[in-house]
Amino acid sequence: MVKFIDTHCHLDGEEFDEDRSAVVQRAREAGCKAIFLPAIDVKSCQTVLDTCREYPDYCFPMLGLHPEEVKQDWRDQLAEIKKYLNNTLTTNQFPIPLGGDEAGLPVLAIGEVGLDYYWSREFEQEQLLAFEEQVRWSVELQLPLMIHCRKAQNELVTILKKYKNELPGGVFHCFTGNEQEARQLLEFDNFVLGIGGVATFKKSHLPEVLPACVPLERLVLETDAPYMAPVPLRGKRNESAYIPYVISTLAEAYSVSADDICRHTNENVCRIFKNFTS
Ligand SMILES: [Zn+2]
């Protein structure tokens, strides 16, 4: 079987504190060859880096401020996160080594970042400013974006358009939209849609939407673990070992083999995450 990559997994989360090594072991046994970890705030930049250091050449860090973590103190948070990223600026070569303790840990992307108006619009303006600042980091560092977007696609696209020609690419993670929304996002070159457990849900339209307008060159796989476990494990804690359920759903939807899904998504990962060397 061709191996696959989990491009979005909160493996540093406390949900995995009891049995993280077993989770990694199950991922390896299920055919997962790498796991990418997004940070959500300053504190998690450290836990993400720590977890990646514990599983070298298997877990890879992404650093950023998640829209739901954008509060009054967002400028201070961004300044701290930029310090982590600036340690990568010592060279223009890829992979970029981090300074000091983090030496040899290649940061793969800015993330996760974006806009989320689902729960609250309290920090709507702050979210817009924080997202745009991190989009500028993506351009400056030429690191791809790992983007989270909920109930805010038009606002998100408006910001991204300003930088369209300079952006190195990225992932619209946990895509659950319709055809029109997919087409709007795919207008950004070198961006792909991250597909996870939601595709397996009974009411999901993704098995029809994706083959209709998203070529296999524009998809990557993800869990968003511990959230979004696929059917038949829906509601349980998610982990990378469950991605084969998503692969089966996609293989059926596109009328291709599971190996084809893995091969395409692996190629897409390598094209977008230039610091990832498998
Ligand atoms: Zn996430």
Contact (CB, 8 A) for 64 and 81: yes
Identify the pLDDT of residue 105: 74
Distance 47 CA to ligand 1 centre (A): 14
What are the mean pLDDT values of the chain's consecutive 10-residue runs (278 residues total)? 97 98 98 98 93 93 96 96 77 42 74 94 96 97 96 97 98 97 97 98 97 98 98 97 98 98 98 90
Distance 170 CA to ligand 1 centre (A): 14
Distance 193 CA to ligand 1 centre (A): 14
Q: Which candidate, 2, 49, 60, 19, places its Cα nearest to that of 239?
A: 19
Distance 112 CA to ligand 1 centre (A): 7
Identify the pLDDT of residue 89: 52
Distance 89 CA to ligand 1 centre (A): 25
Q: Write the pLDDT tens digit of every residue in 185-240.
A: 999 999 999 999 999 999 999 999 999 999 999 999 999 999 999 999 999 999 99
Q: Which residues contact 260 (CB under 8 A, 6 or more apart)?
A: 216, 251, 254
Q: Write the pLDDT tens digit of every residue in 77-95.
A: 999 999 888 875 554 433 4
Distance 259 CA to ligand 1 centre (A): 26
Distance 3 CA to ligand 1 centre (A): 22
Per-residue three-class SS string for the chain? CCCEEECCECCCCHHHCCCHHHHHHHHHHHCEEEEEEECCCHHHHHHHHHHHHHCCCCEEEEECCCHHHCCCCHHHHHHHHHHHHHHHHHCCCCCCCCCHHHCCCCCCEEEEEEEECCCCCCCHHHHHHHHHHHHHHHHHHCCCEEEEEECCHHHHHHHHHCCCCCCCCEEECCCCCCHHHHHHHHCCCCEEEEECHHHHCCCCCHHHHHHHHCCHHHEEECCCECCCCCCCCCCCCCCHHHHHHHHHHHHHHHCCCHHHHHHHHHHHHHHHCCCCCC
Distance 195 CA to ligand 1 centre (A): 12
Distance 37 CA to ligand 1 centre (A): 9
- In sequence order, the β-bridge partners of residue 62 are 38, 109
Identify the pLDDT of residue 90: 52
Distance 256 CA to ligand 1 centre (A): 28
Identify the pLDDT of residue 84: 87
